[in-house]
Amino acid sequence: MRAMEIPIQHGARVIVTGGTFDKRYDAIKGELTFKETHLPAILEQARLTLPLSIDIRLLIDSLHMTDAHRQGVLDACRGSPEGAIVVIHGTDTMVQTAEVVGRARLEKTVVFTGAMVPYSVQGSDAPFNLGFALAMSLALPVGAYVAMNGRVFSWDNVMKDRQEGQFKERLQGSVTPRRGP
């Protein structure tokens, strides 16, 4: 029975930490800052029908993320009642935080995502990335992943190419055959 094969959909959790995804333009200061997360607006736009709990943990630039912050993200993942978790994170140190969570070998699927262009800027990749990451959190086996711009990477084989603004495999030839039917 094919209906047996799809993953449970009892819900997922999104943990917000900030990053470009959540930057807003401050008209008085004339710069991009953090005020509140765009997540509820994006979820309304997505017309989400999946039960989703939201944990707004941090709203910071990921360059300012300390070891204590990363430990906090790990604790939030560990404490999550949902096994499918998306972490919204700045792209600059997303790989480091994914490593902290990955090494903990939780029995959960934790997918890190973010945006190269803030949601508040026209033509942002935030809604696409959030949809992509949420699906991966529901469908992939337990583990920690980075999902950006249509690709997903295991936490132990990903890097950000700052010149091109893209995430890539760190090692060559590590991509493996898909799990069969």
Q: Minimum distance from CB of 144 to its own copies (Å)?
A: 8
Environment class of 28 (CB within 10 Å of its CB; exposed 0-12, middle 13-18, buried 19+): exposed
The answer to the question of residue 104 lying near its own copies (CB under 8 A) is no
Q: Output the smallest distance, CB 4 to its own copies, in A.
A: 5
Residues 136-165: x where in contact with its own copies by CB under 8 A, - otherwise, as a string: x-xxxxxxxx-xxxxxxxxxxx----xxxx
Token pair listed for 97? 């935080």
Contact between 107 and its own copies by CB under 8 A: the answer reads yes
Kindly tell me which of 73 and 138 has the beta carbon lying closer to its own copies: 138
Number of residues that bind its own copies (CB under 8 A): 82
Q: Which of 8, 2, 35 is nearest to 108 (CA)?
A: 8
Q: Which stretch binds its own copies (CB under 8 A): 64-72, 73-81, 93-101, 135-143?
A: 135-143
| CA separation for the pair 19, 146 (Å, rounded) | 14
Q: Is 81 in the site for its own copies (CB under 8 A)?
A: no
129 near its own copies (CB under 8 A): yes
Burial of 173 (0-12, 13-18, 19+ CB in 10 A): exposed
Question: What sign does the CA torsion over 48, 8, 99, 133 have?
Answer: negative
